[in-house]
Amino acid sequence: MPDPEATSATAPSPLEANRAVLVYLLLVNVLPGLALLAGWPVGLSLLLSAAVALLLTVLVFRRAFAALARSGRLSRPPPPGLTAGSLLLTLPGALGLGLVAGYLLPQVVANTPQLGSEAEGLDLLWLFVAVAGVVPLAEELVFRGLLLGAYERVRPLAVAALWTAGVFLLAHASPVQLLTLIPLSWIAARAVQVSGSLWTSVLLHAVNNLLALGVSQLAAQQASDAGVDEVTLSLALGGLLVGGVCLWIAVRWLRPKPQPYAPGPLVSGSLIAVIVLCVAGLAASLLLPLAPPGG
């Protein structure tokens, strides 16, 4: 079992973690656009942008990542049973809440470009490598690594997990992802706290992304062949039930032992900037697909 006191003592500070998240999000959102403008294919753009964004963030915040390494969460292997159980809750929960998103926001879902719909050939391979490898590793190091560990220094474990989950959800700036990523955002944080291994959340994230990419590819294929059926109310309610049950089980099951913390500042200008930028992106992703063509 992990030593909670050692983990807390070696974690980066919340203010430094907030700055690291801000820098990473700015880089990972700007770099792909620049790569696409330069004519790079979608998959390669995502792969290299995520890798460069992570590398630059690590270089700028070397002390914070060094503190994360000392916490032991990078050296502990993921426990197979806990990881498998977390996957069995995350994946059905994501699919269920995806049906809810399809019912509540049908026009947004229909008009939102499917991930990887423009990738083909070798670029599709780069896309899978990015989605299942580089992106999960980068996001878990930043969110469940730096941010979660830092927040645990100044808040109870459940509160730290909730804050981290909220920032992670907002960072994806999509109303559909906001719903489908709820299980992963909570379960990954609690699984790391229980197991003491960041690799638990990396595996959860990677498999979840592979599922999302596979569903996206299938949806794009169906849309081009025969159109996409609307999600009925009964399907949405069933999805909500599945998602709710998965989350309820996760809350009851993944309960780490309490650890000492020293109350201190958690919100900073960097975190406020992250929230403002993410909310603006979320509003844009919600409103743009609803705009009439040529409007």
Q: What is the pLDDT of residues 2-39, one digit of tens each?
A: 554 444 555 778 999 999 999 999 999 999 889 888 88
Instruction: Indicate the average pLDDT of the chain.
Output: 87
What is the C-alpha to C-alpha distance for residues 154 and 118, in angstroms, rounded to an integer? Answer: 44
Confidence of residue 92 (pLDDT cuts 50, 70, 90): very high
Q: Does the pTM of the predicted model rise above 0.85?
A: yes
8: which 2 tokens? 């807390």
Residue 229 has pLDDT above 80, yes or no: no
Residue 78's pLDDT is 96
Of 90, 94, 96, 105, the residue nearest 236 (C-alpha): 96
For the chain, the C-alpha Rg in angstroms (whole number) is 19
Residue 195's pLDDT is 96
What is the C-alpha to C-alpha distance for residues 283 and 147, in angstroms, rounded to an integer? Answer: 24
Confidence of residue 174 (pLDDT cuts 50, 70, 90): confident
Confidence of residue 226 (pLDDT cuts 50, 70, 90): very low
